[in-house]
Amino acid sequence: MDFEVKLIEFLQANASVGWITFFQILTMFGSYLGFFIVFVLLFIKKRKLSYAFAITFIVASVINYILKQIIARDRPFVNNEVILNLDNESGFSMPSGHSMCAGLFATFLFYLIIKSSQKRMTKILGGIAVSLFPILIALSRMVLGAHYLSDTIVGIIIGIIFAIISIMLYNIVMKKNKYYD
């Protein structure tokens, strides 16, 4: 954990006011704003998939809350006076809810890109773009002093797992019932 503290200290010490502002804005996309944007995109392209996404978001958010209560890990700024709470966070740290959402959002968007696009280059560039999103959200959570690296990694993994399970169930239901969007 010492490495994680040093990492956050390094990120905060080398972040300008502009970078901090950028990460404060970016981190909003790892929560309800990101949910709304992804839901609308899915709703436009694959309406039934947007419903699966919304249900998955709710279930994952509840599970994230429960895990935070069970694990009860303090946020980095609680026990380390050099780490600043630049996002005005409270509560427990593990797993990162923003990172979980980012993993969930990115996986659903990746699936949408793969299924919707005919062009190989669009699939490749879109895949790269959505893959960067959870990484940037995780970075923002550390720069803002809200989470340790391990909190963000676990959050992303949980989000991806929930998305994959949901997409698999969606495909089973769609195939079984011969539904089409």
Q: How far is residue 113 from each of residues 30, 69, 106, 173, measured CA to CA in Å?
A: 19, 35, 10, 20
The answer to whether residues 136 and 101 touch, using CB atoms and an 8 Å cutoff, is no
Per-domain residue ranges for the chain?
2-177
Residue linked to tokens 């280059």:
121
pLDDT (tens, 9 = 90+) of the chain, 181 residues, equals: 689 889 998 888 888 889 999 999 999 888 888 888 888 888 888 888 889 899 999 999 999 999 999 999 999 998 888 888 888 888 899 999 999 999 999 999 899 888 887 888 888 998 899 999 999 999 999 999 999 999 999 999 999 999 999 999 888 887 777 655 5
